[in-house]
Amino acid sequence: MWKLFRIVCVCLLGLVQLALADEVAVSSTAARDWVNSKGQELLQTLSETDPIVKYSKLDKMMTEYVNLDYVSQFVIGKYGKIMTPEQKERYRGLFQRYILSLYKQFNLNIEDGGIKFSIDSVTEHPRFTTVQCTVDPSDVLKNIKIEKIPVKFKLIRGLNDAVQAVDLEISDVSMVIEYRKRFYQMIKEEDEDINWFLDRFDDKVRANERAFLQKAEI
């Protein structure tokens, strides 16, 4: 369940773009409203009983609230500099499919009100605003003793003046940094051959998608 929670947070709230030099911080009021709104929308979606409706809504949230192009570039980091245009295009497409396939590997059946969250503090910085929250999954994990989970959102005023998350920390661990580490390891295991890495990545994405389709047919 802890792994499930981390994946949901990473996919829907954590995988996001970094601030540009001319971006300004989000006001405390706007930041608080954004986290409240998107958090409630996520929890309501997770309580949806129809899996087709649920995953369609999750996909919509992911593509609307997360800049997957920027996230994919950040995650690939230095290796993006040695990719050809064709490799970059293939990678970006695979990355989006990969992210959308992650949460489909789990039965995200959470009763409405099963997970609670509260906003503890909002801090404005010159280029971003952080929102410190506490997530309480105790009503879901009734038979497991678990402490409340500290979660921090980093928000910017981004494209089209929209509030966007730029990172998510769960218990002081940056989700975007963790994904970069994972992808770097995959590339190193392929002797830093980008085509080999992309082929392996493609296999992983296809396996995730097949697993979801098989589960949906049951």
CATH of domain 2-217: 3.10.450.710
What's the DSSP call for residue 12? I
Range of weakest confidence among 43-47, 80-84, 103-107, 184-188 = 103-107
Closest CA to 119 of 145, 144, 151, 158: 151
Say if residues 99 and 62 touch (Cβ distance below 8 Å). yes
Tell me the pLDDT tens digit for each residue of 9-33.
555 444 444 433 344 578 999 999 9
Question: What pLDDT score does 204 carry?
Answer: 94
Rounded Cα distance between 216 and 94, Å, is 21
- What are the boundaries of each domain within the chain? 2-217
Tell me the pLDDT tens digit for each residue of 86-139.
999 999 999 999 999 988 887 777 776 678 889 999 999 988 899 999 988 776
Q: What is the mean pLDDT of residues 146-159?
A: 82
